[in-house]
Structure formats: C-alpha cells, structure tokens
C-alpha cells in the first residue's frame, strides 16, 4: 500500500498519486515576518518538514516551496513603531526564522519566495481575473467578485448563503458585494506602494500565494499545506484566484495541521496566537529545552489533532529522547569505534533481512504512509531502542550495530537523533545542571574521584560524590563499562 493522506477538500483519506510520476510539488504558507515565531508556527513547520522528509524517503523527487509574507498591515505598523524600514524589519525576522528552524532541525525549503519580489506575477494574475470578469477595480482597489466563482466555499464547506449572513463592508471599502475580497489595495499616505494598471498601491495578502505557487509549481500541483486557521478565508480565496485565472484545479491535496492550545484561566483550551497574547516564542522555549525536545513534543501528536501545550509534556518529550539516546550510548560503549554514525540516508527496507529489524522498519514506514502518523512512528523508534538494549545486554556486537544503525536511520527520517549520545546528555539538560557552574570537565573529574573511592572501598566518599552531583542536577548510572552521566532536568 502506498501513501495515504487526509485531503481537506474531500474530508477523507485518499491514496496519494502525484500528478507526475516520481515527482511532487508542495507549497506551504510561511510566516508573516514582523515578530519572532511561536510554538504554533513551529508546529506547522515541523509537521510539513516531516511530510517532505517522508516523501523523499519513499523515493519521490520533491520540490518544496514555503513563502515569506514581507508586506502586510502588521509589518507596516511594526516598522513605524520601531522607526525602521520595512526591509530592515523583515530581513531581521527572516534571519530569526532561519535560526529557529535550524534549532528545530527543520530543513530549508527548496524555494523560499518573498511577496515583494513577485509583484509582477501578482499584477499579471489580477489582470487575468479582471479580464475574465472575476475581479473589478473600484476607487484604486481591485476586488475579487466572489459570486462569479460558483465553486467558492467548497474547501471550507461554507455555502454562499452562510457567508452572506456574516459578510460586512468595512469603513473605507468600495466593494460591490460584502463577500468580495481585496486583490490590490490603493496607495495610502506613508505606506509602501508600487505601480499597477489600477493605480499605485500594494497587493492583498491572498494573491501572493496564488501567484508564487503558480510560478514555481505550475497551474496545478500536488499538495498545499498550512494551519487550520488558513482554510477560510486564505486558502478558499487562493482556490478562487488560481482556478479563476487559469481555469485549472490548482491543488489536488489540501493538508492542514491542528492548532496548538493552551489552557486559559477558566480552564478552557484556546488556540495559541499572538492576537490572544498567550503564545510562547520558540526562542523563549529554547532557553530551557533543546530544539530536538520541542520537535518530539510536536511529533508526539498527530499533525491533524489539537496539540495541548504544557511544560509537563515538554518534560515528557525530553525523557523520551533520553531513553533513545541512552540506548545509543550503551551501544557506543559496547562497539567503540565500530559504532555506526548517523548517515542522513533513509532506511532501505530492501536491504534489511527478514526478522525483527525489518518488522520494526516496516511498522515505521506503515505509520508514516498512513497520513504521516508520527506517534505510531515514534512508537516504532522506542521498540527499536528496546531491541538495541537487549542486544547490548547480550553482548552481541553484530546485532547491536544493526539495531543502532536502524534506530539512527529511522530517527533521522523524523529529524531526530543526529547528535552524539554523550553530546546530548551533556548539553540537552543545561537548564538543570549548567546553572550551578558545574562544567562537564568538573563532572568527569568527580566521577573519576568516585571511581577511585570505590576502588579504595571508601564508599562514604563515593556516595557523597553521587549526592553532590545529584544536588547539582547530574544523574549517574553505573554500567559494566563504567559510570555514565546526564543532566537530570
């Protein structure tokens, strides 16, 4: 069985069949760059990073496009507040975005277009819509005529009768129908503006993704992704624009990830969002947790389900990673220089022998093939770690190496387990142990002193050293190969 994914358009799982055999085009709505990204943004980026990784692991040639919105009302307002140019503001936060994504092991997209660099494509598409009577100029603005596109509302499941009830015309708008949306905004004082056939101004938000998706992936492509909040109106409007301009169905599969929720003072779950003031930025969380911990926290939930944010769940994610890295560290102690290293190459199922190794890998791939079910894929990782620990206990170097290689390979396909085990334990818990100024070198010296004390049968001193380390957030584990340590945070 091949890959199946949930298509928002059909509201069911479907077999994934690329338009062109062996090749996949995917577009994911990126961020509006006026502030630091929060954990909700991280969920979108990690979710679709995993999608892209798995498609490639299945041998598909993927072109991944993820845009930056670098002109927007919020951007203009923030730049004015800061007394800086829009380019200064957006460049700074694009750099910050890349720093955050690197910490989360999110790969760069193949193409990362900026809205301000694609104004020609937007003006051209708007012109096509005007020519087809799907859009109209009005007092310097250009609006999409929603009633002239009969399929409007299909993605969101919102019939026109329902949309009519909630439609309003804001002050200053000159559209013919309350449901119409803006494609081009006429120039206003002290705002950036560009020339167009309809007068100076700037593009609306929705048109940018239609124009850039078409430019880089064609009039029809395979997958379009984003958060649930984008289904309406953004993605609904994209369909109207792209389909209206070209006459082609623009996207075959629409994918949307669930919200990140926090519990408010009334004990109710609410979406994490900047507008609600309840968000945690990625870099704030990176002060306490590693990027890999944040990634596992996100992957512990299926991408389409709500993700409840809590520090307890982040701690649980770190504990899970500790278990996986512990298995790899135990294997390294047995294998020494023969310990496999992460290769970054997807696991080749055909190269695995019949038996437990192949069974575990097939369960991993089956989970990912089934709408990218990362919780079940992680379960396969933990089963691989258990088998690795058994191989170490049996003192079997050949089997140990095979399981270590598989664990690293499957982990790598989720963007995990790229660190050396010792580096993980000596850095991932920095908030627990590092604050007291106990460096790794000092810890190693105390462990050596403890080993000598035990050799001299000075067990009181040995116990005192263990207690001293524990008090400073350092956990010891005695193994046949000697004591190994990690931060306990």
Paired strand residues for 479: 482
- Does 274 belong to an annotated binding site? yes
- Does 37 belong to an annotated binding site? no
Backbone conformation region of residue 59, classed left if phi is above 0, alpha if psi is from -120 to 50, else beta: left
- Does 74 belong to an annotated binding site? no
- Give the separation between CA 342 and CA 409, rounded to whole angstroms: 7
Paired strand residues for 223: 26, 253
State CA 269 to chain mean position distance.
21
* Residues ≥6 apart with Cβ < 8 Å to 417: 324, 325, 328, 342, 407, 408, 411
Three-state SS across the chain? CCCEEEECCCCEEEECCCCECCEEEEEEEEEECCCCCEHHHHHHHHHHHHHHHHHHHCCCEEEEEEEEECCCHHHHHHHHHHCCCHHHHHHHHHHHHHHHHHHCCCCCCCECCEHHHCHHHHHHHHHHHHHCCCEEEECCEEEECHHHCCCCCCCCCCCHHHHHHHCCCCCCCCCCCCCCEEEEEECCCCCCCECCCCCCEEECHHHHHHHHHHHHHCCCEEEEEEEHHHHHHHHHHHHHHHHHHHCCCCEEEEEEECCEEEECCCCCEEECCHHHCCCCEHHHHHCCCCHHHHHHHHHCCCCCCCEECCHHHHHHHHHHHHHHHHHHHHHHHHHHHHCCCCCCCCCCHHHCCCCHHHHHHHHHHHHHHECCCHHHHHHHHHHHHHHHHHHHHCCCHHHHHHHHHHHHHHHHHCCCCCCCHHHHHCCCCHHHHHHHCCCHHHHHHHHHHHHHHHHCCCHHHHHHHHHHHHHCCEEEEEECCEEEEEECC
- Does 444 belong to an annotated binding site? no
**Annotated binding-site residue numbers for Zn(2+):** 29, 209, 234, 238
**Annotated binding-site residue numbers:** 29, 209, 234, 238, 274
**Annotated binding-site residue numbers for ATP:** 274
């Amino acid at each position: 069985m091949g890959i199946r994914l949930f298509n928002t358009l059909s509201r069911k799982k479907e077999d994934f069949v690329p338009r062109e055999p062996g090749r996949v085009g995917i577009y994911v709505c990126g961020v509006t760059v006026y502030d630091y990204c929060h954990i909700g943004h991280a969920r979108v980026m990690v979710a679709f990073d995993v999608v892209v990784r798995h498609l490639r692991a299945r041998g598909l040639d993927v072109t991944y496009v993820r845009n930056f919105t670098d002109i927007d009302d919020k951007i203009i307002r923030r730049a004015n507040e800061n007394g800086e140019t829009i380019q200064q503001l957006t460049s700074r936060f694009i750099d910050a975005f890349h720093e955050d994504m690197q910490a989360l092991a999110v790969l760069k997209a193949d193409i990362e277009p900026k809205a301000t660099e694609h104004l020609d494509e937007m003006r051209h598409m708007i012109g096509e819509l005007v020519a087809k009577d799907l859009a109209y100029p009005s007092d310097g603005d250009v609006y999409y005529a929603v009633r002239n596109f009969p399929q409007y509302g299909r993605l969101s499941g919102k019939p026109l009768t329902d949309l009519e009830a909630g439609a309003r015309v804001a002050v200053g708008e000159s559209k013919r129908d309350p449901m119409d949306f803006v494609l081009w905004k006429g120039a206003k004082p002290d705002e950036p503006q560009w020339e167009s056939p309809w007068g100076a101004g700037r593009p609306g938000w929705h048109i940018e993704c239609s124009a850039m998706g078409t430019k880089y992936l064609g009039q029809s492509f395979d997958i379009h992704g984003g958060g649930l909040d984008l289904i309406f109106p953004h993605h609904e409007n994209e369909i109207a624009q792209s389909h209206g301009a070209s006459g082609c169905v623009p996207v075959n599969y629409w994918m949307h990830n669930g919200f990140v929720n926090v519990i408010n003072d009334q004990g109710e779950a609410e979406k994490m969002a900047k507008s609600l003031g309840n968000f945690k930025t990625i870099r704030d969380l990176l002060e306490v947790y590693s990027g890999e911990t944040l990634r596992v926290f996100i992957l512990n939930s299926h991408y389409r389900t709500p993700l409840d944010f809590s520090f307890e769940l982040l701690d649980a994610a770190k504990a899970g990673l500790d278990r996986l890295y512990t298995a790899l560290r135990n294997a390294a102690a047995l294998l020494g220089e023969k310990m496999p290293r992460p290769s970054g190459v997807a696991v080749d199922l055909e190269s695995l022998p019949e038996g437990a190794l192949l069974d575990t890998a097939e369960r991993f791939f089956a989970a990912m093939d089934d709408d990218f079910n990362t919780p079940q894929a992680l379960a396969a990782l933990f089963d691989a770690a258990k088998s690795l620990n058994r191989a170490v206990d049996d003192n079997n170097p050949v089997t140990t190496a095979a399981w270590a290689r598989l664990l690293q390979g499957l982990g790598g396909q989720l963007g995990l387990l790229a660190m050396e085990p010792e580096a993980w334990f000596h850095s991932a818990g920095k908030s627990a142990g590092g604050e007291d100024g106990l460096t790794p070198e000092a810890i190693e010296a105390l462990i050596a002193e403890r080993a000598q004390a035990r050799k001299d049968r000075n067990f009181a001193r040995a116990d005192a050293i263990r207690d001293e380390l524990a008090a400073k957030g350092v956990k010891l584990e005695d193994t046949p190969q000697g004591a190994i340590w990690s931060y306990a945070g």
